[in-house]
Amino acid sequence: MPKAIKKKSVLKKEVDTEIQVRDSFEGIKNVFEQKQKLLVSYGLIALSAAVVIGGIAVYRFNANDKAQQLEYEAYKTYYSLYQKTPLAGQEKAQKALELFQQAYEKKKSPRVLLFIADTYAEMAKYDEALKALDEFTQRFVREEALIPLAYQKMVALQLKKGSKEEALKTLDRISAAAGDMLKDFALIQKARMLEQDGKKDEAMAKYKELAEKYPQSPYAEEAKTKSGEKKAG
């Protein structure tokens, strides 16, 4: 009889833990959606949403799975960065990074490696972030839906470092990849860079190509305006 009570108690604890995890992930999802708006305002397509929310949708908490425990704690810490004071932010980022790294050691997850790169970027450690993204493109070459996202992150970091030539090479890798994922981003970024360099004709050609090939792109209006295809009034 006592054994049965103990079993019931353990089962209840596991159910309560799973409910708590799911509730916490919902909070993380809400915070991410707020961050997504900020990323879009900077001209970035926040495809990280698909990575995180996709992971949440299939997540199965297992109290005995150390990698999942570490990943869960890392997510909680990472997203608490957006409710921070400047001083505490670096401490939280470092903690999140350590947890993500520990989770990655336990299980080589592409999602976790992307967050390692993001956390390095939050800490302004751009070289380390680029190194993590380079590892991603080498190790997870079959992740066709995520590889362009890794390249996009690389472009943003390379531009922050002032490495225009490297950024252009990475944009070329996006353009050469299979499918249409982020091809519009590559075109708009190249057009903007050409325009900044005073290469107006080349920039106009890129804007026009974007407007014609990707009329549903979030960059289409800008491309039409810049290329002169959008009618006044």
Question: If residue 85 lies in a helix (H) or strand (E), which one and from where to where?
Answer: none
pTM over 0.75: no
Q: What is the pLDDT of residue 46?
A: 40
Between 162 and 80, the higher pLDDT residue? 162
C-alpha dihedral sign at 57, 62, 65, 68: positive
Q: How confident is the model at residue 120 (pLDDT cuts 50, 70, 90)?
A: very high
Q: How confident is the model at residue 92 (pLDDT cuts 50, 70, 90)?
A: confident
Q: Residue with structure tokens 């590892």?
A: 135
Q: Hey, what long-range contacts does 62-70 have (CB within 8 A, 24 or more apart)?
A: 63/14, 63/17, 66/106, 67/103, 67/106, 67/107, 67/109, 68/103, 70/99, 70/100, 70/102, 70/103, 70/106
pLDDT > 70 in the chain, percent: 65
Tokens of 44: 């970035």
